[in-house]
Each structure stands twice: as C-alpha cells, then as structure tokens.
Amino acid sequence: MSPSDEKLQALLNDLRELETYLHGRGDKTKALSLQFAENAQKNPANREYDLNQSRMLDYQHYTWHEIRTQ
C-alpha cells in the first residue's frame, strides 16, 4: 500500500470514529433533554430552568446529529 493510500485509510478511519462520537454525543444530550423535561413536570419551583435546559440540550442533540450527517 502506498503512503497516500495509508493516509487516506487513516483519514477514513478517523472520520468513522468521529461519526460514532457525534452520534453518541447526540444520544446523550437527547437523554439529558428528556430528563430535564420530566423534571420540569415534577418540580414547579425549577420548571423554567428545567425547560430552558431541556430546550438547549434538544438543540445540541439536533446539532450533533446534523454535523454527523453533513
């Protein structure tokens, strides 16, 4: 295998690893978003904070998955 082929394979491997990482980050932020949304329903004292956190994390979830698919 030529050096340029080796570099290409290394790059492709790095991109696969990045895709896996971004997918995992998206899933984690979605799970946290759902937790904050649930907490907003349970605890009225922190409702506004929990809803804001849920929205922010939901947006991050969308962003991670959007980056991954581009």
Any idea what DSSP says for residue 48? H
Other beta carbons within 10 angstroms of residue 38's beta carbon come to: 12
- pTM of structure: 0.76
Contact 21, 49 (CB under 8 A): no
Residue 61: is its pLDDT beyond 80?
Answer: yes
Number of independent structural domains in the chain: 1
Distance between alpha carbon 8 and the CA centroid of its chain, in Å? 26
Over the stretch 9-59, which tens digit does the pLDDT of each residue have? Answer: 999 999 999 989 988 988 999 999 999 999 999 999 999 999 999 999 999
Residue 8: is its pLDDT beyond 80?
Answer: yes
The CA distance from 59 to 30, in Å, is 9
Task: Give the structural domain span for 48.
Answer: 3-69
Q: Which of 25, 20, 52, 19 is nearest to 36 (CA)?
A: 52
